[in-house]
Structure 1
Amino acid sequence: MLKHSYRYFLFLLLILSSCKDSEVIPEQSLTLEEEQLLLGNPSGATADESNPNNYLMLKPQYALSYSQERGTPNWVSWHVSEDWLGTAERQDDFRADPSLPEGWYRVGSSSYRGSGFDRGHNTPSADRTKSVADNSATFLMTNMIPQAPSNNQETWANLEDYTRDLVAEGNEVYVIMGSYGEGGTGSNGSARTIDNGRVTVPNRIWKVLVVLPEGENDLKRIDADTRVIAVDTPNSNTVRSDWGTYRTTVDAIESATGYDLLSALPTQLQKELEGQVDQGPTQ
């Protein structure tokens, strides 16, 4: 009798052990800040005041590398999904970012006034409508660049609308946007800086979108068939409104900026995705 009981006990242990081994352990939940940097930190930015031109700023709504010298972000990274879209109205509360280190010049709401350039959002207002606080966060001036009006209101607006159309179709999109170079052409003509030289006008504006069907464990779901859209436009008021004509490769943007844009992905996968020019629809 004891022999049979012992065998039964061993059999029960074996079953329990097998169940434990086959159990799927869910991926640890990301913080909102980690969500915005899922694809990696393109420039290796750090939250160190001694690194003023590659200063990492993490917000629940987006992450960015800020340049004190340029008075603009180098790049901004964020996630667009159904969870981020709601009914909050556009706040239009442009303002200096109080989270910049003490003693740094803070670009203000009137710094672009009379310049001929728009206060161009990186993370769009319409990508953050879940709450008033989320929308308001997009109006911090650390999220702005001097952008030619036609570029901002037509070319870029069309790409932003298309991004949200993708979400409405059941996708989620990871976006990295930035700018580089010096000198653009706005409604008042060409300029290299504004705000008495404290804000640099970029020459080029770029964006990379990684498109996934809505789901979980997003980083692990990116593969060689994932749609990646890379766009690089001149910061000019004569820019064409069709953003699709400015499609390029991630490799080309990395070459121009020195950034590693999809650094969180395996090296071989980066090579496969970053050398392709998107051929998908644009509306």
Structure 2
Amino acid sequence: MKKSKLFGAILPIAVPAIFFTLLNYLQKPLTAQTSSVHLTMGNPSNAGSSYSNYLLSKPQYAVSYNCYRGTSNWVSWQLNPSWLGSAPRQDDFRADTTLPSGCYRVTSSDYSGSGFDRGHMAPSADRTNTIANNSATFLMTNMIPQAPDNNQGVWANLESYCRDLVVNQGKELYIISGSYGTGGTGSNGTRTTIANGNVTVPSRTWKVIVVLNRPNSGASSVTTSTRVIAVNIPNTQGIRNANWRDYRVSVDSIEVNTGYNLLSNVSTSIQSTIESRVDSL
């Protein structure tokens, strides 16, 4: 099932819209962004310069950022052995200054006392080859308000499983992670927003993982037998010890819930097979 969704900029009057569009273009040339290795499987929402679907293309990962929610729509990244090493976890959570000036820049303290973790989309442990690359994962544009039991339990176990595929089986992964909906339950109860309304708390967290047998083989190497893992997990407490396998779904179902075209660079005939299937390994 293939559905694409375009997001228009929401600005009050025409003149600022023109100004910010030009400013965004000058700051973030799209020709450079869309060539990112982290978008090998596609740009799921056609992210560009819209404030609800703003493309941040970093050396370490690519982001579709939603200025109105104060979180990413999705984060996409490549994972193979070249990204892994011995660099320590930096824990330098900070605002992302590359966001356009009209977009609220979430800070680490915006999560303080909320009952929600600063939940990484692209994990710190997936970027340990250099200190700079690890540090980049602590930008707040890579965070969502994540229930502690989700983030520290079932979600963390899936992240570890992904790294195991790379380290012990020599796989290369292309991972797309995101959230949707409104309202999650953290350690202080259920909230729809935090940070004085600047950050929306999602109700669901999801991830799609394309597993390739060798590094740098690209979207053209995806076949109908390629393993694709997709999960959709509630953003709530009480699931710390749950098995991530119990939340496996089809890619199609995530597309229905988000409106994204998640593996758009894969041929449509292959997509129709691998996106309708639920992983069972």
Structure 2 length-normalised TM: 0.86
State the one-letter code of the partner of 1:142. T
Q: How does 1:64-143 map to 2 (within 5 A)?
A: 64-143=63-142
* Residues 33 and 56, structure 2, Cα contact 8 Å, conserved in 1: no
Q: How does 1:261-276 map to 2 (within 5 A)?
A: 261-276=262-277
Q: Equivalents in 1 of 2:35, 2:99: separation in Å?
A: 17
**Mapped pair 1:255 → 2:256:** yes
RMSD in angstroms over aligned alpha carbons?
Answer: 1.4
* Residues 32 and 61, structure 1, Cα contact 8 Å, conserved in 2: no
1:173 corresponds in structure 2 to 173
Q: Equivalents in 2 of 1:225, 1:31: separation in Å?
A: 30
Q: Equivalents in 2 of 1:117, 1:186: separation in Å?
A: 5
Deviation of 1:262 after TM superposition, in Å, equals 0.4
Deviation of 1:215 after TM superposition, in Å, equals 3.4
Q: Deviations over 1:139-180 (max 9, x none)?
A: 000000000000000011000000000001111110000000
State the one-letter code of the partner of 2:46. G
- 2:40 aligned counterpart, secondary structure: coil
State the one-letter code of the partner of 1:158. N
Consecutive unaligned residues in structure 2, runs of 5 or more: 1-31
Q: Deviations over 1:56-75 (max 9, x none)?
A: 11000000100000000000
2:186 corresponds in structure 1 to 186
**Mapped pair 1:241 → 2:246:** no
**Mapped pair 1:40 → 2:42:** yes
1:54 corresponds in structure 2 to 53
- Alpha carbons of structure 1 residues 211 and 42: separation in structure 2 relative to 1, 3 Å: same
Q: How does 1:219-234 map to 2 (within 5 A)?
A: 219-234=219-234
State the one-letter code of the partner of 2:261. D
- Alpha carbons of structure 1 residues 33 and 114: separation in structure 2 relative to 1, 3 Å: farther
Q: Equivalents in 2 of 1:31, 1:146: separation in Å?
A: 26
Deviation of 1:251 after TM superposition, in Å, equals 0.2
State the one-letter code of the partner of 1:132. I
Deviation of 1:214 after TM superposition, in Å, equals 2.0
Q: Deviations over 1:97-156 (max 9, x none)?
A: 010012321000111000000000000000000100000000000000000000000011
- Alpha carbons of structure 1 residues 95 and 129: separation in structure 2 relative to 1, 3 Å: same
1:277 corresponds in structure 2 to 278
Deviation of 1:33 after TM superposition, in Å, equals 5.8
* Residues 33 and 58, structure 1, Cα contact 8 Å, conserved in 2: no
- Alpha carbons of structure 1 residues 31 and 166: separation in structure 2 relative to 1, 3 Å: farther
1:10 corresponds in structure 2 to none
- 1:158 aligned counterpart, secondary structure: helix
Number of paired residues? Answer: 248
* Residues 77 and 176, structure 1, Cα contact 8 Å, conserved in 2: yes
User: Max radius of gyration: which structure?
Assistant: 1
- Alpha carbons of structure 1 residues 247 and 129: separation in structure 2 relative to 1, 3 Å: same
Deviation of 1:31 after TM superposition, in Å, equals 9.2
Q: Equivalents in 2 of 1:96, 1:76: separation in Å?
A: 16
Q: Equivalents in 2 of 1:272, 1:104: separation in Å?
A: 39
Deviation of 1:216 after TM superposition, in Å, equals 3.7
* Residues 96 and 142, structure 1, Cα contact 8 Å, conserved in 2: yes
Q: Greater shift after overlay, 152-161 or 33-42? A: 33-42
* Residues 99 and 105, structure 2, Cα contact 8 Å, conserved in 1: yes
Q: Equivalents in 2 of 1:153, 1:215: separation in Å?
A: 29
**Mapped pair 1:206 → 2:216:** no
Q: Equivalents in 2 of 1:103, 1:180: separation in Å?
A: 23
* Residues 57 and 66, structure 1, Cα contact 8 Å, conserved in 2: yes
- 2:108 aligned counterpart, secondary structure: coil
- Alpha carbons of structure 1 residues 216 and 70: separation in structure 2 relative to 1, 3 Å: closer
* Residues 119 and 144, structure 2, Cα contact 8 Å, conserved in 1: yes
* Residues 177 and 208, structure 2, Cα contact 8 Å, conserved in 1: yes
Q: Which has the higher contact order (CA 8 A, sep 6+)?
A: 2
- 2:73 aligned counterpart, secondary structure: strand
Q: Equivalents in 2 of 1:167, 1:32: separation in Å?
A: 25
